[in-house]
Amino acid sequence: MKHFDPSVSDEMRQYRNSHINQRWGQLYQLSKEAGETAIKFLFAVNAGGAVAILAYLGSQTSVDETGIATIKVSLVLFFLGIVFIGCYKAYGVHYFEGLFDKYKSLVDEYYAQNIGWIELINSDKANVSKSWVPYILGYASFLCFISGCIVGAWGLYF
């Protein structure tokens, strides 16, 4: 049965709406938690990699030129991983701040009776876009970590 089918009672519609809202909230929280955990992980492993490289360099009395070059490249990769995470966080702040500002303006327009409810909802939906920027920055950070590990291991053992 469809939502606005005449045979569906108002109580059933309210129950379904409640279920939909609960499920959306649950999925939003899971998505948000997974994203935050991934970002914390990427920051920690890139920072840890950089600290490990710096500690290694500090403990060495002499390192050959090839070894030092690969260690420096590894350090740069870990640093870039941290920079990508910083950019990810900055992008998120500005994106959500922009959504809030746009929504606030729409609500002001609605209460001023310049736009109707449907226009408010449709305009808000139009403002939310699927951006690839967070994915690119997150995966770039992960790639920097993996590359930093490989280059660092190469410099140490080969």
| Secondary structure (DSSP) of 49-67 | HHHHHHHHHHH-S---HHH
- pTM exceeds 0.85, yes or no: no
Q: Check if the beta carbon of residue 46 is closer than 8 Å to that of residue 141.
A: yes
Helix (H) or strand (E) holding 37, with range, is: helix 10-59
Confidence of residue 88 (pLDDT cuts 50, 70, 90): very high
Helix (H) or strand (E) holding 97, with range, is: helix 65-111
> What would the pLDDT profile of 35-76 be if each residue is shown by its tens digit?
999 999 999 999 999 999 999 888 877 767 777 888 899 999
pLDDT at site 64: 76
> What would the pLDDT profile of 9-19 be if each residue is shown by its tens digit?
999 989 988 99
C-alpha 50/C-alpha 81 separation (Å) is 10
Burial environment of residue 45 by CB neighbours within 10 A (0 to 12, 13 to 18, 19 or more) = buried
pLDDT exceeds cutoff 80 at 103:
yes
Average pLDDT of the chain, as a whole number = 91
